[in-house]
Structure 1
Amino acid sequence: MIRTVATTPFDDQKPGTSGLRKKVPVFQQAHYAENFIQSIFDALSGFEGKTLVVGGDGRYYNREVIQKVIAMAAANGFGKLMIGQGGILSTPAASHLIRKYKALGGIILSASHNPGGPKEDFGIKYNAENGGPAPEKITDAIYARSKEIREYRIADIDEVDIDTIGKVEVEGMTVEVVDPVRDYADMMESLFDFNALRRLFESGFRMRFDAMHAVTGPYAKEIFERRLGAAEGTCRNFHPLPDFGGHHPDPNLVHARHLYEEMMGPDAPDFGAASDGDGDRNLIIGKGIFVTPSDSLAVLAANARVAPAYTAGLAGIARSMPTSGAADRVAQKLGIGLYETPTGWKFFGNLLDAGMATICGEESAGTGSSHVREKDGLWAVLLWLSILAARGESVKEIVEKHWAEFGRNYYSRHDYEEVETVHANGLIKELRDRLPDLPGTQVRGLTVETADDFAYHDPVDGSISEHQGIRILFEGGSRVVFRLSGTGTSGATLRVYIERYEPESARHGLDTQQALAGLIAAAEEIAGIRRHTGRGRPSVIT
């Protein structure tokens, strides 16, 4: 039986850069998840009889919300749901299923790299029919609907078994539970030369992959150990857990410190990598060297031709504005386009769909290509392995040769987490008000060349996205960027990005924070971070 349930709007259901993220107790409020799911359906059209892909990263409350989606999709007239077994689907795997099976779109249940558990984070994101995050016109429509919703439709049904592969009928709708790994692993095998990678591991090459008790564990086990023959134990923390084992599934030097220390140790493996909660981010560490996400994007783009999928070359490279300019010089040498977008993978979708870009990346550990419309952690790891196999060099040798050819971008991000929103907004407003007066001024011996509030003019559809981050550019190519993150669930996260370009190889061996010390001090002086936030140092430095 299908019921129409009366409800009232919540005032906090505005999607961020990657959907709606809140603490689990917020989503557990009566009608809260249902209101947002119905708002998604109401913002769409023509979905009667169509297919919807559903899955998530296995975090706490994942299974319960999947049951709500099943009941509401049936009541709203969808023809079919494809659900990852056990409710598991990595974000890139969900994107692939949407594209491969020509689904209308997908609902991905994840809060990405945020912690999970009864009091931690949960998220709901809608991906469109191209497999990518919903564009702003859809997320704006979802938010508008959430502010006026008065009822939702739901079917009174028994709980559906999502642990057994197969099909069942629910109120005239087909629910198909699918292997969450197979289609994705098959796609990876079509993109890369798995025979060459098998030979790499047969040669004695050692790798450590940390799935952080998150969604990529089953994928990594299947690809690295079963299909490529890596030694058993190559994949660690590979069982997805609702609370990620009590850890924070963010692949950076703070939350994956144990991997970093192992890779810096005397008996380090040849290659180390990690991924995050929903499988779209990556951490790359070689023996004795951490590779920043910005440098990783540049190295991958410069060497992509070693993989069968990219032998014809790249159409272009896209990066988010806060990401370092390392990839810009690669694009220039290759004679291809370089596109600078706002933060958020949805901005890459138009470029990929139009065939203008092939590889995209963000400084927040996300890289991907035109094979899906999401960033893809395991894809990045496999391309790195392909480069290592083709060049026969270590990660450190490859990166240092890249710097010698293109110059080094010293780069770091300083995060001030859970800042009171009013103080974070005050800092940004004060900066915006000062922008006209900054060019030409001197700060800590540096001269401000330009200062602006980044606005993106989409070259495909002509849309304009304003207020995407405050940029302070200094003479000589250094810069500092300030922006507020849209991925947290409480307070505001102030992100400060510091970058210095160094063309001279003799100066490529400096400690990053030491090399950036003058810019870090200039950022504090320009923005008054301590004055606004009360923080004397960042919460996280990456």
Structure 2
Amino acid sequence: MTKTVTTTPYNDQKPGTSGLRKKVPVFQQKNYAENFIQSIFDSLDGFNGETLVIGGDGRYYNREVIQIAIKMAAANGFGRVLVGRGGILSTPAASNVIRKYKAFGGIVLSASHNPGGPTEDFGIKYNIGNGGPAPEKVTDAIYARTKTIDSYKIADVADINLDSEGSQDVEGMEVVVIDPVADYAELMEQLFDFGAIRRLLSSGFRIVFDAMSAVTGPYAKEILENRLGAAKGSVLNFIPLPDFGGHHPDPNLVHARALYEEMMGDNAPDFGAASDGDGDRNLIIGKGIFVTPSDSLAMLAANAQLAPGYSKGLAGIARSMPTSAAADRVAEKLGIGIYETPTGWKFFGNLMDAGLVTICGEESAGTGSNHVREKDGLWAVLLWLNILAVRQDSVQEIARQHWMIYGRNYYSRHDYEEVDSAAANGLVDALRAQLSTLPGKNFGALKVATADDFSYNDPVDKSVSNNQGIRILFEGGSRVVFRLSGTGTSGATLRVYIERYEPDSSRHDIDTQEALADLIAVADEIAGIKERTGRTEPSVIT
């Protein structure tokens, strides 16, 4: 039986760059999740009888909201739901399932790299039929509906069994519980030379992959150990846990410190990697060398043709504006397009759908290609392994040879987390107010060339996105970027991106923070970070 439930709006359901993210107790409020899910459906047209994909990263409250979403999909007229066994689907796997089975769209339950648990983070994101995150026109419509919603529809039935594969019926709608890994693993076998990677791994080449007790565990276990023959135990923390084992599932040098220290040790494996809560981010570390996400994007793009899925070359490369310009130099040498977009993977979807780009990346540890419409952590790991297998060079050798050819972009991101929102917004407002006065100013040896608030004109749909980050560019190619993140759930996160281009190979061994020291000081001088936020140092440096 389907029932209509009267409800009242919540005033805090504006989706960010990756859907709606709040603490679990917020989502547990009466009708909170239901309101948002109904607002998604109310903002869409033409889905009657169509297929909806539902899955999540296994974090706390995942199963409960999946049951709600299934019952609401049935009541709203969907014809079929595909859901991962146990409620599990990594974000890139969900994108693949949407595309492979030509679904109308999908609901992805995740807060990405944020912590999980009874008082931690949860999220709901809608993905459209191309498998990618909903564009702004859709999320704007969803938000508008959340402010006026007065009822929602839901099937009044028992919960379905999420742990057994097969078909079940909910009020005439078919619910199919699928293997969450199989379709994704099949796609990876089409893109990469599994034979070459198997030979590499059987030659004594050692890898370690930290799944961080998050969603990538079952995928990495099946692909790296079962299909590619990595030694048993190569995949660590491979069982997804609702609280990620009490850890922060963000694959950076702070939260994956143990992996970093192992890779810098005397008896380090040859290759180390990690992924995040929902499987769309990656960390790449070679023996004795950390590869920044910006450099990883550039190096993968420069070598992608070594993998069967990219043997015909790349159509183009896209990067988010805060990501370093290392990929630009690869695109220039390859004679292909380079596109600079705002932060948020949804901006890459139009470019990929139009055939303009093949590989995309963000400095926040996200890399991917046109095989899906989300960033993909395990994909990046497999492409690295394919390149290593073909080139027979170490990660360190590949990096050094790359810098010799293209120069090195010293790059770092300083995150000031959970800053008072008013203070963070005041800082950004003050920066905007002085943009017109900065060009021509000297700060020690640094002279400001240009300063602006980045705006993006989408070359495909002609949409315009303003206020996407404040850029201060110095003569000689150095730059500082300031941006407030939309992925947190408490206060504001101020991100400061610092970059210096160094073409001189004799200066490629300087410590990154040392190489950027003068730019870091100037960033604080211009923005007044210490004065306005009270923070004397970043929460996280990557």
- In the superposition, the TM-score normalised over structure 2's length comes to 1.00
Structure 2 CA distance for aligned equivalents of residues 522 and 212 of structure 1:
36
Counterpart in 2 of 1:241? 241
How many pairs does the alignment contain? 542
Where do 1:51-90 residues align within 5 Å?
Answer: 51-90=51-90
Counterpart in 1 of 2:109? 109
Structure 2 CA distance for aligned equivalents of residues 469 and 421 of structure 1:
16
Counterpart in 2 of 1:274? 274
Where do 1:203-218 residues align within 5 Å?
Answer: 203-218=203-218
Counterpart in 1 of 2:508? 508
Counterpart in 2 of 1:22? 22
Conservation of the 8 A alpha-carbon contact between 1:168 and 1:175: yes
Conservation of the 8 A alpha-carbon contact between 1:214 and 1:276: yes
SS at match of 1:294: helix
Counterpart in 2 of 1:141? 141
Matching residue's letter, 1:171: E
Are 1:310 and 2:307 counterparts? no
Which residues of structure 2 form unaligned runs of 5+?
A: none
Structure 2 CA distance for aligned equivalents of residues 287 and 479 of structure 1:
30
Counterpart in 2 of 1:444? 444
Where do 1:520-535 residues align within 5 Å?
Answer: 520-535=520-535
SS at match of 2:103: coil
Structure 2 CA distance for aligned equivalents of residues 20 and 461 of structure 1:
24
Residues 171-230 of structure 1, C-alpha deviations (whole Å, 9 max, x = no match): 010000000000000000000011111101111110000000000000000000000011
Structure 1 CA distance for aligned equivalents of residues 23 and 513 of structure 2:
34
Matching residue's letter, 1:139: T
SS at match of 2:374: coil
Counterpart in 2 of 1:425? 425
Conservation of the 8 A alpha-carbon contact between 1:14 and 1:20: yes
Counterpart in 1 of 2:371? 371
Counterpart in 2 of 1:380? 380
Shift of 1:484: 0.2
Matching residue's letter, 2:264: M
Where do 1:70-469 residues align within 5 Å?
Answer: 70-469=70-469
Shift of 1:443: 1.4
Conservation of the 8 A alpha-carbon contact between 1:116 and 1:244: yes
Which residues of structure 1 form unaligned runs of 5+?
A: none
Q: Detail structure 1 runs of 4+ shifted over 3 Å in the superposition.
A: none
Structure 2 CA distance for aligned equivalents of residues 363 and 452 of structure 1:
20
Conservation of the 8 A alpha-carbon contact between 1:444 and 1:521: no
Counterpart in 2 of 1:474? 474
Shift of 1:499: 0.1
Structure 1 CA distance for aligned equivalents of residues 92 and 263 of structure 2:
27
Shift of 1:392: 0.5
Structure 1 CA distance for aligned equivalents of residues 514 and 27 of structure 2:
43
Conservation of the 8 A alpha-carbon contact between 1:9 and 1:35: yes
Structure 2 CA distance for aligned equivalents of residues 213 and 29 of structure 1:
27
Matching residue's letter, 1:405: I
Shift of 1:531: 1.0
SS at match of 1:71: helix
Please provide the CA RMSD for this pair. Answer: 0.4
Shift of 1:444: 2.9
Structure 2 CA distance for aligned equivalents of residues 374 and 149 of structure 1:
30
Residues 48-101 of structure 1, C-alpha deviations (whole Å, 9 max, x = no match): 100000000000000000010011111101100000000000000000000000
Residues 417-466 of structure 1, C-alpha deviations (whole Å, 9 max, x = no match): 00011110000000001111100011132100000000000011111000
Question: Which stretch shows the higher mean deviation, 260-269 or 439-448?
Answer: 439-448
Residues 258-302 of structure 1, C-alpha deviations (whole Å, 9 max, x = no match): 000000001100000000000000000000000000000000000
Structure 2 CA distance for aligned equivalents of residues 162 and 389 of structure 1:
39
- In the superposition, the TM-score normalised over structure 1's length comes to 1.00
SS at match of 2:213: coil
Residues 123-157 of structure 1, C-alpha deviations (whole Å, 9 max, x = no match): 00000000000000000000000000000011110
Structure 2 CA distance for aligned equivalents of residues 4 and 272 of structure 1:
51
Matching residue's letter, 1:488: G
Conservation of the 8 A alpha-carbon contact between 1:480 and 1:496: yes
Structure 1 CA distance for aligned equivalents of residues 537 and 177 of structure 2:
47
Structure 2 CA distance for aligned equivalents of residues 424 and 149 of structure 1:
31
Structure 1 CA distance for aligned equivalents of residues 47 and 355 of structure 2:
27
SS at match of 1:53: strand
Counterpart in 1 of 2:518? 518
Residues 291-331 of structure 1, C-alpha deviations (whole Å, 9 max, x = no match): 00000000000000000011100000000000000000000
Structure 2 CA distance for aligned equivalents of residues 444 and 457 of structure 1:
34
Matching residue's letter, 2:293: P
Conservation of the 8 A alpha-carbon contact between 1:314 and 1:359: yes
Structure 2 CA distance for aligned equivalents of residues 62 and 511 of structure 1:
42
Structure 2 CA distance for aligned equivalents of residues 318 and 46 of structure 1:
31
Matching residue's letter, 1:518: D
Where do 1:25-40 residues align within 5 Å?
Answer: 25-40=25-40
Counterpart in 2 of 1:43? 43
Matching residue's letter, 2:151: E
Residues 215-259 of structure 1, C-alpha deviations (whole Å, 9 max, x = no match): 000000000000001100010000000000000000000000000
Counterpart in 2 of 1:497? 497
Conservation of the 8 A alpha-carbon contact between 1:75 and 1:155: yes
Conservation of the 8 A alpha-carbon contact between 1:54 and 1:83: yes
Structure 2 CA distance for aligned equivalents of residues 264 and 177 of structure 1:
42
Structure 1 CA distance for aligned equivalents of residues 69 and 462 of structure 2:
34
Shift of 1:32: 0.3
Structure 2 CA distance for aligned equivalents of residues 89 and 443 of structure 1:
49
Structure 2 CA distance for aligned equivalents of residues 460 and 71 of structure 1:
36
Matching residue's letter, 1:367: T
SS at match of 2:4: strand
